[in-house]
Amino acid sequence: MPVYILGIESSCDDTSAAVLRNTCMLSNVVANQQVHNDFGGVVPELASRAHQQNIIPVIDKALKEAKVQKEQLSAIAFTRGPGLLGSLLVGTSFAKAMALGLNIPLIDVNHMQAHILSHFILRKASNNPIPHFPFLCLTVSGGHTQIVMIKDYFDMAIIGRTIDDAAGEAFDKAAKILGLGYPGGPLVDKLAVAGNPLAFKFSKPSITGLDYSFSGLKTSFLYFVRDRLKENPGFIDEHLSDLCASMQSSIIHVLMDKLIKASEQTGIKEVAIAGGVSANSGLRNAITAMQSKAGWNTYIPEFQFTTDNAAMIAVAGYFKFLKGEFTSQSVTPYSRGGM
Ligand code: KG4
Ligand code: ZN
């Protein structure tokens, strides 16, 4: 009998609901919140209010698009953490109430595990390849930068992580210094296309092992731009694409360096990327190039699965459903960790 899972994601500023039949995606609805644009970042209080407004219409739309009645659902999976507590509470409370009302199991999902498991979502149209265990995943978002070794769906070990900022923050900070909007990653990516990645050099971190650091690179970029502006107030406008291309290439260089080391150390050549920054065209190209350079099998998510979405929550929920791993009505969200 097919399993129908409704996934609910509300960890940050996207309200999302999705319906899966086993691992096959039937719908994935995302409502982006525009209320934060004027503030240069996500305002937690505004985010939870917007989730409250969005959650019913988003779930309704996801069920309709999937052509699934709520009575057909086998279970409800929701993001328990990490994320903004006020935002997580909206999804968690709604999931609890709906599961109770329908008398079906409730499944809690870790957001970071779900980003990785998004590679197992089956797409009818594309017949997409699925990673084989064990594989490595570079999970890069606005809040996380991790190299994870995945031995099984829920047997994951973080073998490298950032000791300060996330890669997404480095993109967003660079965009802010250049006077671009928020989130900055997509804007830097777009402008970088026309620029020269070798135009400017910024200091690279010299941290040992598989861990990352981005704060030095961020500061080096800030001081470089500040010093050039003193000499020439038009510096940013005259060199915008080159600045974006050079910063993007520095971030990617740092990311790839440790990922290559991780592959060499573990001997694993199945390599995936996930999270918001995995939408970056330069990073996608760099990973793909490793197929011919080092014989990697690479897994690059569709754009709709790079940013926060409920299909990844539903697929993680499906694998927990198969193991009978349900949670209780007394479950509470967590803002950090959990993996
Ligand atoms: O996973 P995500 O949607 O949310 C978090 O859980 O943080 O990631 C958001 C991050 C932001 O820092 C954003 O600037 C970055 O992903 N991002 C990108 C691109 N698209 C989104 N960074 C670089 N290039 C992109 N194309
Ligand atoms: Zn995320």
For residue 17, what pLDDT band results from cuts at 50, 70 and 90? very high
**Structure confidence by residue, pLDDT tens digits, 139-151:** 999 889 999 999 9
Distance 150 CA to ligand 2 centre (A): 18
Residues 6+ apart with CB under 8 A from 119: 130, 131, 137, 272, 274, 299, 301
Cα 36 from chain centroid (whole Å): 19
Distance 280 CA to ligand 2 centre (A): 14
SS3 332: coil
Q: Residue 28: pLDDT above 90?
A: yes
- Mean pLDDT within 1-7: 96
Distance 138 CA to ligand 1 centre (A): 13
Least confident piece of the model among 38-52, 73-87, 169-183: 38-52
Distance 276 CA to ligand 2 centre (A): 6
Burial 296-308 (b: 16+ CB within 10 A, else e): bebbbbbebbbbb
Nearest CA residue ID for atom 21, ligand 1: 276
Q: Is 186 in the pocket of ligand 1 (CB under 6 A)?
A: yes
Q: Is 66 in the pocket of ligand 1 (CB under 6 A)?
A: no
Structural domains of the chain in order of their starting residue, each with its CATH number:
4-127+305-323 (3.30.420.40), 135-301 (3.30.420.40)
How far is 239 from 271, CA to CA, in rounded Å?
A: 34
Q: Residue 125: pLDDT above 70?
A: no
Would you say 122 and 82 are in contact if contact means Cβ atoms under 8 Å apart?
A: no
Q: Residue 234: pLDDT above 90?
A: yes
Q: Is the peptide bond before 183 cis (omega within 30 degrees of 0)?
A: yes
- Mean pLDDT within 310-338: 95
Q: pTM of the predicted model, to two decimals?
A: 0.94
Q: Is 142 in the pocket of ligand 1 (CB under 6 A)?
A: yes
